[in-house]
Amino acid sequence: MTPAVKTLLVLAVVALLFVTEAIPLAVTSIAGAIAVGMLGVIPIKSVFGGLANSNVVLFAGMFVVGAAMFHTGLAQKIGESVVKLFGTSENGLMLGTMAIAGVLSAMLSNTGTTAALMPVVLGVCAAAKIPASRQLMPMAFAAGLGGIITLVGTPPNIIVTGALGAAKLRPFGFFEFAWIGIPLLIAGVLYMMFIGKHLLPKAELSADQEIEQEVEASSHDTTKMAISGFTLLGVVAVMALKILPLAVAAVIGAIICVLTGCLTEKQAYASIDWVTIFLFAGMLQVATAMAKSGAGKLIADAVVGMLGGSPSPLVVTAALFILACGLTQFMSNTASTALLAPIGISIAKGLGASPHAVLMAIAVAASCAFATPVGTPPNTLVLGPGGYKFMDYVKAGTGLVVVCFVVSLIVIPIVWPFFPK
């Protein structure tokens, strides 16, 4: 049995356990990493290597910074202000939250944007007495969509631009992605406000939110509020200006919060959502196995073979969109884009068509990792605080993927014609 087949079998079992939640998500994820290690697909000593990933460290740091805002009462104060601006209706808050997340993630990392906004959104939900589960997933989705708008918003955009340059073709411009990114963000906001919200879990206010409301009501240390607020702003600024790596900025922020007494060391440890940490770390190694074993390429070759002799460019674009979107639900968007970009260029050239439309579709699809909590870091980041289950992402995210597919097949060929004059 080849390493690729072994990896695909592990992935199938992991996917089944994710959907059924027969065992906890984090346990499934770590077990998947152990399995690909024991099967020899990745070195056994690297099974837990995902725990050293910078995104895992970023998650931990931002959980602490976010908790500091709650323990000082600042998140509640901000929440009350936002509620006054947008009202207490779910749609009003969803519009404001998604718009802010989408705009910020166009220039910042969508992971950093989600991490920075999460404590604020939790405060908004507490002030409006709305379960966090009704707002956190839409925010994460908006961050993912906003990243499509510019060249630096998400890694797939950079990868397809580089692939075009390597093939001696015109690369995409910095804001060229906005032609598809902005329509997708608008469509995504409308979908979540009118359809997606009905697919989100209808939980009551969580016990954590109720406790947080009680804690904030009795905490009015304005000095510590200011410290926690400036710490978050400082972390975001450092992330935006790329002064330090995201993870380093987050951990420094967490250390400042503890040293200044915004929360205790014990509270800091308790604020870290370990399910998120282990879920993401485990799946990183499964994704690595997919890339190294050739499992992803095996899937890609099979799909391309199914297209037949001379398919139309639109069919190719649609097929590669579906393939990239499917791979990115369990595989890193960077890896899936890097795998499919050269395939897209070669197929387009073979058809005598411009590769720009095909590569734009691949980049967009790789960012549409909305149907699982492990498809993209923002989804994983809100899993614990939102109290979501695996199937919550499948229910709400699959429809958003379909919306993005339809919008992309309409807009992309218009902006980037297959046969430009």
How far apart (Å, rounded) are the C-alpha atoms in residues 97 and 213?
20
Q: How many residues does this entry show for the chain?
A: 421
How far apart (Å, rounded) are the C-alpha atoms in residues 217 and 212?
8
Q: Identify the pLDDT of residue 208.
A: 55
DSSP string, 188-199: HHHHHHHTGGGG
How far apart (Å, rounded) are the C-alpha atoms in residues 344 and 357?
9
**Predicted confidence (pLDDT) at residue 5 exceeds the cutoff of 80:** yes
- Residue whose tokens read 């400082």: 234
User: How many other β-carbons are positioned within 10 Å of the β-carbon of residue 48?
Assistant: 15
Are the C-beta atoms of 180 and 148 separated by less than 8 Å? Answer: yes
Q: Identify the pLDDT of residue 205.
A: 59
User: How many other β-carbons are positioned within 10 Å of the β-carbon of residue 81?
Assistant: 13
Amino acid at 24: P
pLDDT digits (tens, 9 = 90+) for 330-359: 777 877 787 788 788 878 887 888 899 999
What the block records as the tokens of 295 is 């499992």
Q: What is the CA radius of gyration of the chain?
A: 21
Task: Report residue 113's pLDDT band, with 50, 70 and 90 as the boundaries.
Answer: confident
**Predicted confidence (pLDDT) at residue 187 exceeds the cutoff of 90:** yes
Q: Identify the pLDDT of residue 352.
A: 83
Q: Identify the pLDDT of residue 413.
A: 95
Q: Identify the pLDDT of residue 292.
A: 83
Amino acid at 308: G
Per-position b or e across 199-238, b if 16+ CB within 10 A of its CB: bbbeeebbeebeebbeebeeeeeeebbebbbebbeebbeb
How far apart (Å, rounded) are the C-alpha atoms in residues 273 and 288?
23
Can you state the angle between helices 274-293 and 295-306, rounded to 10 degrees? 60
Could you tell me the sign of the dihedral formed by the alpha carbons of 148, 150, 152, 158, in that order? positive
Mean pLDDT of 193-215: 69
Query: Minimum mean pLDDT among 17-21, 171-175, 344-348: which range?
Result: 17-21
What the block records as the tokens of 117 is 């906004």
Q: Whose CA is closest to 80, among 47, 129, 32, 30?
A: 129
Calculate the CA 346 to chain-centre distance: 29
Which residue has better confidence, 280 or 223? 223
8-state DSSP, 331: S
Query: Minimum mean pLDDT among 25-39, 252-266, 294-308: which range?
Result: 294-308
Q: Identify the pLDDT of residue 215.
A: 46
Tell me the CA distances in angstroms from 26 to 108, 169, 320, one per residue in order: 28, 43, 30
Angle at Cα 105 formed by Cα 160 and Cα 361, nearest 5°? 30
pLDDT digits (tens, 9 = 90+) for 225-253: 999 989 988 987 887 788 888 889 989 99
pLDDT digits (tens, 9 = 90+) for 31-71: 999 999 999 999 999 999 888 888 788 878 888 988 888 78
Backbone angles phi, psi at 387, to 5 degrees: 65, 35
Query: Helix or strand or coil: residue 115?
Result: helix
User: How many other β-carbons are positioned within 10 Å of the β-carbon of residue 193?
Assistant: 16
**Predicted confidence (pLDDT) at residue 216 exceeds the cutoff of 60:** yes
What the block records as the tokens of 355 is 């590769």
Calculate the CA 383 to chain-centre distance: 11
Can you state the angle between helices 222-241 and 246-259, rounded to 10 degrees? 170
Query: Helix or strand or coil: residue 202?
Result: coil
8-state DSSP, 48: T
Could you tell me the sign of the dihedral formed by the alpha carbons of 207, 212, 213, 214, in that order? positive
Mean pLDDT of 373-396: 90
How far apart (Å, rounded) are the C-alpha atoms in residues 388 and 373?
9
The region that residue 133 occupies, defined by phi over 0 for left and psi between -120 and 50 for alpha, beta otherwise, is alpha
- Percentage of the residues of the chain whose pLDDT score is greater than 70: 94
Task: Report residue 188's pLDDT band, with 50, 70 and 90 as the boundaries.
Answer: very high
